[in-house]
Structure 1
Amino acid sequence: MRWLVITLVVIAALVAVMVAGPQIIGDKGYVLITLGDKAVEMTVVSLAISLIALAIAWWIVKQFIRWIFSLFKGSHNWFGSYGDRKRRRAFYRGLQALAEGELLEAKRALQRTTDGDFDGVNYLAAAQVARALNEPDRMRKLLEHAADYKHSKVAATLVLARLEIETNNPEAALKHIDALEEKDQKHPQAVRLRAEALARTGQWQTLQHNLNEWKRPLGDDYVMWSERIAKGKFAEIASKQGANQLKLYWEELPRKLRHDDAYRAAYVKQLLEQGMHSDAQTCLIEWQKKGPHPLLLPLFKEINLPNASPSIQAIESWIKQDDKNASLYSALGHVAFNSDDLVLAEKALLKSIKLSENREDLTTLARLYEQRNDDNQALLFYKQSMEVQ
């Protein structure tokens, strides 16, 4: 259409010149066209009208030819569009069937999407179906296909790494994560999976070296990982070199780590596992001089000494300052129970479940009444513990 407008404007300008020219010089003018033996004579106005008619006819013919070509070319698009629509319907049905729990139908539907352009999402969905159907080999192949697509590579690789960890193959999980681009390796889930794989391969030193850098992606799990790293390192030393070497290793740690509450908790746990309850008690009291700490206080429950009076005195002093704290009564009750002070244990545990009922304290109370041969009370607390979420 644009071409037609331009042509008409040019012809109109030409006609204006041809018409106005003769009038200015007082001559109507004529045009003579010779084609071999034939001659055509017409006025300027007739020529202008002929040119306009010719331009319009040419535009119509051109549009007609273009339309004819589009019919032949469009036949391919019609078939292609039909195939695309079928694959899209299969893709949507596959997702719906997956959400409905119709796994076999989802599998069949998604199998019809392999030639479609879904940016790898169809393979990710099919892999999820394969996982639900317990087809790990097929799931792995589907994820590998999904990883070939740029926008699905990270998701597919993370699922593959998670699958390797679940199947106790952490080395392969690390290889998958290493295959990601550097910026994608900083993805929070990639960091978490790397940490898990390193832990399962016993690479505690590497974990410790990277922990501060991973603080942000680990988020709320940072403290847990700090404690887990410390526990893993301490357990390795204790198992290979003994408890005394563990104590020496602790003393040689940098001051910053020795003042880290997660490291302290891990160290105390390892002392308890090594049967060094007296040393554990000393550490717990020393490190909580300013008051109870949420990571350290629960560890009092594992103290098992005939004479746990230092722990009992410390906890009782905290209760005087906060007599509505169920955690303090719970810790006191367990320490007393483990040291065979059943009277104090009963009093403290009953107070604890009154403030905040929990299964651990109810079960300990049941054991306490069993020791007293009070089967009715023991059964009552066992039943009560089973009802607590």
Structure 2
Amino acid sequence: MKWLAIALAVLAAFVVALIVGPMLLGDKGYVLISLGNTAIEMTVISFCILVIGAVIAWYVLSRLVLWALSLITGSHKWFGTLGERKRKRAFYDGLHAMAVGDFDTAQKSLSKTTNGDFEGVNYLASAQIALTNEDLSKARYFLVQATDFPKAKVAATVMQARIDMAEEKYDAALEKLNELDEQERENTQVVRLKAHILAKLGKWQVLQENLSSWRKALPKADYTTWSQRIAKGKFAEIASKQGAVELKSYWETLPRKLRHDDAYRAAYIQQLLDQGMHADAQKLLVEWQKRGPNSALFPLFTQLNIPDASPSLRLLESWIKQDEENVSLYSTLGQVAFNSGDDVLAEKALLKATKMKSRKEDLLLLSAISERKHDTATALQLYKEGQQLAS
């Protein structure tokens, strides 16, 4: 429209010049048009106005003709715009219905958007509705359509892989994710899903090899969790197939970096405990926490069950001297002492912990100690108090 306004302004200026110019000069000019016996006489100004009017009339008439032709062929922009508006309205109606849980209405609305350009979101939404209705074949159909849109490709692939996982088709799910290009494979959800699939397949070595390259894509908490799961998975596999002796040999062959990793250390000690090697586990728990409690290793103390727990007890008591208001230290000391048969120390530590904060596990241990002393009334009372508390 801007160019049309400029053209009209120029035309108006030209007409004014034609009229005002001759008037100032005092000569309007003369034009004679002779056709056979017909002669048309006019001034130059009239002739110019006639020509300009004819040009404008031709332009308007040509636009009308083109518009009429477009109506006949059905390609007029107005109709296209109207159709696009209807598809957009249907798209938004579908999302609104989906949000409130009216999936039938949502699907009907979204089915009207197939010819629109919604970057695949309409197909993703339709697939989600199909999944909610447990119609996996229809969901797969919509997801295949969505993969044709670059911006929807990753989301569609992830959803397809999750369907495969739900059907325990882990290899198929992994294959779909591996078909993504390098940049798409760095997506956080893709990485998380691949990690879960590899874990399900028991491919701990492959998972370990990939984990370092996934550090940027994974949140720190996820990275730590997967490090622990990898360690547990590998150690459990070795222990179950080859025994504790082979597990200890394998540990010594690990790189120094891994042997100093808290997640690997915790997983290794856990396997020693599971294999009944509590003395070896205690030795490492004490050795690896000389500088103070380690959040990954400290909880494992409560699983120790050996007659001679003196190294652990001495270490815990030294920590208590440095932090006398730490409930967890008293509670853990009581647990280790109880498991080693030292009920006197266990009761003393647990009473101290309970005085600071009543916790279910501490009260139940005190109940067990009272029962050992054949004090059934106290044991029952402590047991009831413990059951009333959350763990």
TM-score with structure 2 setting the length: 0.84
Deviation at 1:167, TM superposition (A): 3.6
Equivalent residues in 2 for 1:283-302, closer than 5 Å:
283-302=284-303
Q: Please tell me whether the aligned partners of residues 292 and 319 of structure 2 are also in contact (alpha carbons under 8 angstroms).
A: yes
Distance verdict in 2 for CA 1:338–1:30, change over 3 Å: same
The one of 371, 376, 380 equivalent to 2:381 is: 376
Deviation at 1:145, TM superposition (A): 2.1
User: What residue is the counterpart of 1:51 in the other structure?
Assistant: 48
Distance verdict in 2 for CA 1:103–1:279, change over 3 Å: same
Deviation at 1:89, TM superposition (A): 3.2
Equivalent residues in 2 for 1:208-223, closer than 5 Å:
208-219=208-219, 220-223=221-224
User: What residue is the counterpart of 1:133 in the other structure?
Assistant: 133
2:111 is the alignment partner of 1:111: yes
Distance verdict in 2 for CA 1:339–1:189, change over 3 Å: same
Q: Please tell me whether the aligned partners of residues 363 and 383 of structure 2 are also in contact (alpha carbons under 8 angstroms).
A: no
User: Counterpart amino acid of 1:383?
Assistant: Q
Distance verdict in 2 for CA 1:70–1:257, change over 3 Å: same
Matched residues in 1 for 2:283 and 2:212: separation? 29
2:189 is the alignment partner of 1:189: yes
Distance verdict in 2 for CA 1:153–1:240, change over 3 Å: same
CA RMSD after TM alignment: 3.1
User: Counterpart amino acid of 1:274?
Assistant: Q
Q: Please tell me whether the aligned partners of residues 361 and 386 of structure 2 are also in contact (alpha carbons under 8 angstroms).
A: no
User: What residue is the counterpart of 2:122 in the other structure?
Assistant: 122
User: What residue is the counterpart of 1:60 in the other structure?
Assistant: 57
User: Counterpart amino acid of 2:301?
Assistant: F
Matched residues in 2 for 1:71 and 1:358: separation? 85
Deviation at 1:38, TM superposition (A): 4.4
Residues paired across the two proteins, number: 379
Q: Please tell me whether the aligned partners of residues 8 and 52 of structure 1 are also in contact (alpha carbons under 8 angstroms).
A: no
Q: Please tell me whether the aligned partners of residues 362 and 384 of structure 1 are also in contact (alpha carbons under 8 angstroms).
A: no
Residues 272-319 of structure 1: CA deviation (Å, up to 9, x unaligned):
111111111111001111111110000111111122222112111111
Q: Please tell me whether the aligned partners of residues 147 and 157 of structure 1 are also in contact (alpha carbons under 8 angstroms).
A: yes
SS in 2 for 1:212: helix
2:341 is the alignment partner of 1:340: yes
Greater CA deviation, 269-278 or 349-358?
Answer: 349-358
Distance verdict in 2 for CA 1:77–1:278, change over 3 Å: same
Equivalent residues in 2 for 1:75-114, closer than 5 Å:
77=77, 79-114=79-114
User: What residue is the counterpart of 1:175 in the other structure?
Assistant: 175
Q: Please tell me whether the aligned partners of residues 262 and 296 of structure 2 are also in contact (alpha carbons under 8 angstroms).
A: yes
Matched residues in 2 for 1:85 and 1:9: separation? 41
Matched residues in 2 for 1:248 and 1:95: separation? 58
Greater CA deviation, 101-110 or 156-165?
Answer: 101-110
Distance verdict in 2 for CA 1:363–1:225, change over 3 Å: farther
Percent identity between matched residues is: 49
User: Counterpart amino acid of 2:331?
Assistant: S
Q: Please tell me whether the aligned partners of residues 147 and 153 of structure 1 are also in contact (alpha carbons under 8 angstroms).
A: yes
User: Counterpart amino acid of 1:189?
Assistant: Q
Q: Please tell me whether the aligned partners of residues 91 and 113 of structure 1 are also in contact (alpha carbons under 8 angstroms).
A: yes
Residues 226-261 of structure 1: CA deviation (Å, up to 9, x unaligned):
121111111122122211111111112121211111
SS in 2 for 1:275: coil
Deviation at 1:68, TM superposition (A): 5.3
Deviation at 1:177, TM superposition (A): 1.4
Deviation at 1:17, TM superposition (A): 9.1
SS in 2 for 1:305: coil
User: Counterpart amino acid of 2:386?
Assistant: F
User: What residue is the counterpart of 2:67 in the other structure?
Assistant: 70
Deviation at 1:160, TM superposition (A): 2.3
Greater CA deviation, 150-159 or 372-381?
Answer: 372-381
SS in 2 for 1:101: coil
User: Counterpart amino acid of 2:279?
Assistant: S
Q: Please tell me whether the aligned partners of residues 359 and 389 of structure 2 are also in contact (alpha carbons under 8 angstroms).
A: no
Q: Please tell me whether the aligned partners of residues 363 and 382 of structure 2 are also in contact (alpha carbons under 8 angstroms).
A: no
SS in 1 for 2:202: coil
Distance verdict in 2 for CA 1:175–1:33, change over 3 Å: same
Distance verdict in 2 for CA 1:31–1:121, change over 3 Å: closer
